[in-house]
Amino acid sequence: MSVLSGLTAALSDGSIEVIDLTTPLSGDTPVLSLPQPLANTVGLTLSSVSNFDDAGPAWAWNDVTVGEHAGTHLDAPVHWITGREGKSVDRIEPRRLVGPAVVIDKRAEVAQDPDFLLEPEHLEQWQEEHGQLPENCWVIFRTGWSARGGNASDFVNADESGPHTPGVSVAGAKWIAGNDRISGFGVETVGIDAGQAATMDPMFPVHSFLLGADKYGVTSLRQLDRLPVVGATLVVAPLPIVGGTGSPSRVYALVEAS
């Protein structure tokens, strides 16, 4: 049996499960909000073209208006000034969008501190426990934050000082960006940076370091509690928008059934 035949058979008989990690995209899905006078993206709007009526008696379809960075979405290098000469979404090699998922589980820490930051020592400790990161991997930051997804206010978790959501320190972002085995970084929050990242130097260090290093981000993931720490394969499927700085994406994990 060939490798692909074995995979197809395993998907058919359920020995490999496909887990959807994507937040459903609607007009109510929270999107990142920047303070004035900075401009903000839009969420999702559907406008009916026809709906089994005189405009189209046998079919229904909609026009879609949506920001590149709405809902579960991929950040391409050209999204950030450090990567402005890099790849747009359509130019990212498909092989970079499929790879091993390694899960950094900090749910307990985030439950105690919503501003928790991932540091280099956390990533190094993971390798001490589980071995060297695999080639072309996606580092998945499991925080439990998606449990707040049903309430936009809880999900954004903002006060007078701005949002309070977990993320990565400046040193942690440099560590991830500098590791050649990593293709991307995935989070449960609305953006790949911490809620207080605007106060860091540089601002939004995950965007700054990772996108400048030809690595990619994916946000608003769900069902990460169903992933093993090692052993899953991540599949990120953005639209190949020509010149796009990002794209709403469907994100799957292939996991061996227990």
Catalytic residues: 79
Which residues lie below 8 Å from residue 36, measured CB to CB, with a gap of 6+? none
- Measured at the CA of 72, the angle between CA 206 and CA 166, to 5 degrees, comes to 45
SS3 74: strand
Nearest-angstrom CA–CA distance, 210 and 204: 10
Helix (H) or strand (E) segment spanning residue 16: strand 16-20
Q: Distances in Å between the alpha carbon of 104 and those of 177, 179, 196? A: 16, 15, 20
Q: Answer for the pair 214, 177: CB distance below 8 angstroms, yes or no.
A: no
Instruction: Give the pairing type, strands 98-105 and 56-65.
Output: unpaired
Nearest-angstrom CA–CA distance, 109 and 166: 10
Nearest-angstrom CA–CA distance, 246 and 11: 30
Q: Which of 220, 225, 24, 73 is nearest to 144 (CA)?
A: 225
Nearest-angstrom CA–CA distance, 122 and 247: 30
* 181-196 CB burial, b ≥16 within 10 A, e <16: ebbbbbbbbbbbbbbb
